[in-house]
């Protein structure tokens, strides 16, 4: 049971049976999302992420899932997102980036497809993109100062922040009317092209995250400072996005 699947679909029948057995008719959907749907999935390293959609009655019985979650963690399945349809419908104004990215990278494993027909208000999306870019920029500056120039620390920050920025880039591409992508490098390529950012820099940051290059601490520090400068440039561009254009 503890074998890590080479492909996520190997575990679909078993995990659906487990959740159907646990929640019965209160199980609305089982949805795979994130890197496990794309070519970025790496067996044994990437988490396998599921969305478990329940009825209003079922969502009040989460304590039943303790053992099941522990069981599937042995196979690299992260703790799922437990949601109701009503929660999703009423969250699109608050979290449009998150649900846009769910919709862009998912696979219906069982039940009702609650993501397919979601629509997004462009004004809410632009506001969240601006808020996220500015907030992440503050965190990058803080992390740089906390690092004292230590390369290992900065590499961890790069890896964590890039995951967030890929999601933000997809939101910005949507606002620009550009095609979204499921693949990290392609999202970054399109985002850099759309907003005239330094593509070479971002590709190096991905290389660091994927451990394809091993820069020195001083090299990482210089790259990180360039990263901050590009984010400063991006927030100004997002701030100037035509408000009328995205209504």
Statement to judge: residues 153 and 53 lie in one domain = no
Tell me, yes or no, whether 98 lies in a domain. Answer: yes
Statement to judge: residues 47 and 76 lie in one domain = yes
Statement to judge: residues 103 and 138 lie in one domain = no
Q: Pick the closest to residue 58 from 26, 87, 83 (CA basis).
A: 26
Statement to judge: residues 170 and 98 lie in one domain = no
Phi-psi domain of 221 (left: phi exceeds 0; alpha: psi -120 through 50; beta: other): alpha
Tell me, yes or no, whether 174 lies in a domain. Answer: yes
Pair of tokens at residue 166: 């890929």
Statement to judge: residues 130 and 225 lie in one domain = yes
Statement to judge: residues 223 and 126 lie in one domain = yes
Where do the DSSP E strands lie in the chain? Answer: 27-33, 49-54, 81-83, 106-111
> How many domains in the chain?
2
Helix (H, G, I), strand (E, B) or coil at 65: helix
Tell me, yes or no, whether 105 lies in a domain. Answer: yes
Choice between 237 and 244, residue whose per-residue pLDDT is larger: 237
Q: Tell me, what's the pLDDT at 205? A: 97
Q: Give residue for tokens 């590499």.
A: 155
Statement to judge: residues 74 and 137 lie in one domain = no
Q: What confidence category does residue 2 fall into, taking pLDDT thresholds of 50, 70 and 90?
A: low
Residues 98-122 have a mean pLDDT of 98
Statement to judge: residues 97 and 134 lie in one domain = no
Q: Does residue 163 carry a pLDDT above 70?
A: yes
Q: Tell me, what's the pLDDT at 242? A: 63
Residue-wise pLDDT tens digits, 170-216: 999 999 999 999 999 999 999 999 999 999 999 999 999 999 999 99
Q: Does residue 244 carry a pLDDT above 50?
A: no
Tell me, yes or no, whether 245 lies in a domain. Answer: no
245 burial via Cβ count (<10 Å: 0-12, 13-18, 19+)? exposed
Cβ contact 133:235 at 8 Å: yes
Q: Pick the closest to residue 227 from 211, 205, 212, 207 (CA basis).
A: 205
Residue where a domain terminates, one of 58, 86, 111: 111
Helix (H, G, I), strand (E, B) or coil at 126: helix
Helix (H, G, I), strand (E, B) or coil at 124: helix
Tell me, yes or no, whether 183 lies in a domain. Answer: yes
Tell me, yes or no, whether 246 lies in a domain. Answer: no
Tell me, yes or no, whether 117 lies in a domain. Answer: no
Pair of tokens at residue 163: 């995951």
Tell me, yes or no, whether 63 lies in a domain. Answer: yes
Q: Pick the closest to residue 187 from 105, 114, 69 (CA basis).
A: 105
Residue where a domain terminates, one of 56, 83, 111: 111
- Domain limits at 162? 122-239
Q: Pick the closest to residue 113 from 121, 102, 122, 124 (CA basis).
A: 102
Report the CATH number that the domain containing residue 146 is assigned in CATH: 1.20.120
Statement to judge: residues 70 and 97 lie in one domain = yes
Statement to judge: residues 77 and 100 lie in one domain = yes
CA distances from 97 to 74, 100, 125, 231 (A): 30, 5, 6, 18
Q: Cβ contacts of residue 24 below 8 Å, gap of 6+?
A: none
Residue-wise pLDDT tens digits, 56-81: 999 999 999 999 999 999 999 999 99
């Amino acid at each position: 049971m503890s074998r890590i699947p080479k492909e996520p679909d190997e575990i679909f029948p078993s995990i659906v049976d487990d959740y159907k057995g646990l929640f019965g008719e209160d199980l609305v959907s089982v949805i795979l999302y994130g890197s496990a749907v794309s070519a970025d999935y790496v067996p044994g390293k990437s988490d396998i992420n599921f969305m478990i959609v329940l009825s209003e009655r079922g969502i009040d019985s989460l304590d039943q899932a303790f053992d099941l979650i522990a069981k599937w963690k042995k196979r690299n399945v992260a703790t799922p997102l437990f949601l109701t349809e009503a929660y999703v419908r009423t969250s699109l104004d608050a979290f449009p980036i998150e649900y846009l990215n769910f919709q862009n990278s998912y696979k219906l494993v069982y039940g009702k497809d609650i993501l397919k027909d979601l629509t997004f208000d462009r004004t809410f999306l632009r506001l969240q993109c601006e808020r996220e870019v500015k907030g992440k920029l503050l965190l990058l500056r803080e992390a740089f100062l906390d690092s004292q120039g230590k390369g290992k620390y900065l590499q961890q920050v790069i890896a964590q922040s890039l995951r967030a920025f890929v999601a933000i880039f997809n939101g910005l591409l949507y606002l620009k009317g550009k095609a979204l992508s499921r693949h990290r490098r392609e999202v970054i390529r399109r985002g850099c092209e759309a907003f005239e950012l330094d593509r070479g820099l971002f590709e190096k940051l991905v290389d660091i995250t994927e451990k394809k290059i091993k820069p020195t601490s001083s090299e990482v520090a210089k790259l990180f400072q360039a990263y901050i400068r590009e984010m400063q440039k991006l927030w100004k561009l997002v701030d100037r996005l035509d408000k009328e254009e995205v209504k």
